Structure 1
Amino acid sequence: MEFSALMIRSFLAAGLLAAACSSPSAPDPAATETATATHAYTARYHDSARALSALETLSSDDFEGRLTGEPGNLKAREWIIDQLQARGVDPLLDGGFEAPFETASLSEGREGVSGTNLLAIINDEPGAPVIVMSAHYDHVGMGEDGIYNGADDNASGVAALLEAISWFQQNAPETTLVFAFFDAEEMGIAGSAAFVHDLPEQIGDRLAFNLNLDMVSRADKGEIFAVGTYHYPELVPLIDAVAAETPLTLSKGHDSPEWGNQDWSTLSDHAPFLRAGVPIIYLGVEDHADYHKVTDTFDKVDPNTFARSVDTVLLVAEAIDEHVASDAE
């Protein structure tokens, strides 16, 4: 890695000081878009080739759209477990990474679908506050028009979450981090709802934050949104400070009634946490023409943009880790 967590935290500390003293102007999205499109980007905090390969693999036809309860979803689950084992990360539960649950589908009249969340943990210190970083690995399967590969939705979030595991294994967090690969998000956000409803005993009353990743690769305008500051305004200085350092434009919004049907507060796996009173930040891009279509494929992902996005995710994650740890002191 080119930079250490200490360097990241030094940058963020300077940004927080600046945010406290002034109201920094947001980066120009048009300028960011031009830079993203025309200049190669060298990832600072992750292995960009590995992340891109993970995105490509998980969004390939081999996984048949990853619909919960179908063979492609099981194959995706096994692939993610292989990735976790290769990284040497510990499972949250004594029995392994898998946390099965039962859900009822909201589509096509399918009921009683069995789903499986995958849960890993880093730095399980007694009494330490717990941050859950999450991304859903399921998608909507196949239809008459082909396979819904779900490259952006949400192979991208899974790939970024795997890189977060690698980062925090090399740069120990100040909190306890749980990495949740949720199933059945496309079936009514069922996997995360099951997790929050029946919190694993190991977490108990320590749950302090959720950082959710859903659709993080198609920042076609050079912009990604941090959703949640409307509900938790104390997070505004944190996001503003991180935004001063991120290689993508990190914007606030999509989390209040004024956004209408583009209020994303309850539209992904952060929703059950929010409803339970757990602070959240959701990172995601705005909808694009390929959203929930068979055209949401790997070839639409710009490698430089995705590398910028994953670095942005890691900067946000480091800042939230420091923020939660400081609040617990």
Structure 2
Amino acid sequence: MAEDEPVEKVLQTDSDRARRIQMPSLSGVSQVGIQARRVAEGLLSGQHSSRQFGQNIEFSDYREYVPGDDLRHIDWRAYARSDRYYIKRFEAETAVRACIMLDVSKSMLYGEGDQHKMQYSADLAAAIATLLISQKDSVGLALFDEELRFWLEPVGSPEQLRRVYRALEQVRPQNKTQTGPTLQFVAQHFKRRGFLVLISDFWDDVEKTLKGLNHFAHRKFEVLVFHILHPDEIEFPFLGSLEIKGLEEGVLETEGGRHIQKAFVERHMKQREDLKAGCTRLGIDYNLISTDEPLHRSLLRVLSARRQVRG
């Protein structure tokens, strides 16, 4: 891709896909890319060198049941036809088709420095993309607010990783959040099941978000949700007279800070609990991340928990 080529015109396919995938050298890589590589290299070293994301399991064939087999894998339809017990055998595909969805709405502008939600989330997206490419998987990117703003078709190559880095460097948050329409768009672009990573602060309608995620759960996608919040949004440490500026909703002036603090915390806690409960019901991996937690630690925590669940 030429250096002066607009990111919006990046081709959605790559006929020169590399057979052997390695992380790109730091030469010419953006600051987002440098941070992503550092995080990824730390996670890929030592005990963290196993596959991190997207174990795409597909049905292979049958074999007869033997005592000690997992009863969950018995095919009862085959039993009804033959009066014999058969176990479904599965195998992991060598590559996963993944998409990272990143919220670029105006509310993501909250915070400063390392705790800035948009910067933290962009670095997280870049690190995950780097890990996926290092596993020889295909990675796509969807940037959205009220609607889809940018789309990269999943491709597995170092060149694709540079496209992802460049797109993340150019993010300019605006507008409100509506997760549902972009979830629907991405679902339509996956003919087979794959791996979805959704990164957002979820200042959105929880019911509509869960409805969109249900499309992926129904098709047996592996879905990983990162709920990114600034510590202020979790604790609301403001007292006294307040002027609350909703980044997506305008301005509210009010008195009685402690009353407002309690109402805000309770309302937002319920929203988080509803989203988490809905994800659990759908079999989706939900993770609340506060931007005061260093990125490498939060990602390591999530990956470690996933490994424990998988055994």
User: What is the TM-score with the length of structure 1 in the denominator?
Assistant: 0.32
Higher relative contact order (CA 8 A, sep 6+): 1
Structure that is richer in strand per residue: 2
- Which has the higher Rg, Structure 1 or Structure 2? 2
